[in-house]
Structure 1
Amino acid sequence: MPPKNDYPLKLSGEELNGKEKKLYRLSGKYFEAYQKWSINSFLDYLNNKGRSHKFPLIVKKEIFTSWLEKKLECGEINVQVYLSLLRETKKKKSDAISSRTLIKTGKPCANYINFNDYTEEDVSNQTEETLRIEIIKDISLYDEPGYIFIYKVKDKQSGHLYKIGKTKSVGRRLDQLKKKCHFNAELVKILPEGRKCKYTHRTERLIHIELEVHRIDLLCDCCKQKQNEWFKSKKKVVCSIVKKWVCFMEKACGFDE
């Protein structure tokens, strides 16, 4: 039987009731008994157990999706399998799974956030799903505190480009760019201000996911290395996205003292 705090929340944010918790436990047996999973075989399994008629379809699909997330977190399925199975649950327009907004952040945070507060209308479905998957992953033990920086350079072909990355020392990182790559970089912003970001690797990853469509790969003439932390977009857009995910990580995990 799952621990009390291990049950998923409903779309409404409420806890499962007693009968729904029994259905959740029964659903776990499906994932143990079957090697190839699908929403259709899952519903057939519940029908054969005589439990399906007691619950709305939306509840059964929510529970199916919750188990998929659990399997993803445990490493039993990869991202591609997760996304494929998740899409199966969204085929019908009436399926409310697609409007679910509460998701659980990865450990050590492990609290629920409203995903809609951190997604924009013009973000693609693929980007939303990638962000969701990144958020629910456990944070690496090797993640470390520091700062998120934004540098700007003027490129002859592309115009203004913005470099976004993580560092323990902003000044040292800027010197590296100037000495190693001869970039005449201008510091635009350091976040957070007056304190350190607790998990810079996760924060940087979320920022880069949302800015992926603006990414520009540069081959440095000096160090001869391909650099992929450069983005071509408006300053306002870049700064807004960086600030949003820095604030998200502080809200989810706090900041480093």
Structure 2
Amino acid sequence: MDEQLELFRDLPVRRKKASKAYGEFTDKFKVKLTTDDCYTPEAIYNAVRDWTVKEFGLEGREIVRPFWPGGDFETFDYPENCVVIDNPPFSIYDRILKFYTENGIDFMLFGPSLTLFKRYDCCYIVTNEVVTYANGAKVNTSFVTSLDKVYRIRCDLALKDAIAEAEQAGRSKKADLPVIRYPDCVVSSALLGKTSRADFRVRKEDCAWITHAGGNRVFGGAFLLSDRAAADRAAERKKVVVQLLPEELEIVRKLNKKGTNNG
């Protein structure tokens, strides 16, 4: 077969202008840019890895990257005491978190900013930085980790700035004109990504997972904060503030009581 290909290699190539219809036909077979094909630029990965190692004192622990085309993270041979620092396929983000949390594997993963929050016992680090991946896709990116045992939610300027510097590309500012504005005790990753320009952390005992607030479904899910945690938010109020339902206010009351009992 190779010999036959060589015979045709030097033959003149006949070219003709492709028709619009033919172009539309061939477009169907082109690889589309999706979050599952977001191969991480080395500079971005290194910035995240270096921040993670320094922040959580990982010196001496083996760092592994089980996500690659055709790889299977569930059958990957994880060394003892290793830490996964990688950019997984966002389409199975929930399944990945479930596997790692159930199997006690430490991780620091890239995550989709809009749907970052889940119900798993992790720390969600909101950066909401636009990262241009190797395939050209631009994705608002945040992170989720098992390494922080104290906080459920964080906004960290050092990590955010490290990614922005590594990206080395201007980011266009989008108008922040939400139709609905939730009270400060309701936080989603999308809201934090738009409003936070200061370090912000929420302890595990100061928040509860919710999918609705004030009868409205919160896209991607959210956390309901205690009054202590809500007071730490510096976001300015917008036009409309959703009024929480009685059962949601009861959760806040229980969180307040729980924190008081813990001293």
Scaled to the shorter chain, the TM-score interval is 0.3 to 0.5
What TM-score results when the alignment is normalised by the length of structure 2? 0.32
Larger-Rg structure: 2
What TM-score results when the alignment is normalised by the length of structure 1? 0.33
If each structure's helix is expressed as a fraction of its own residues, which one has the higher value?
A: 1
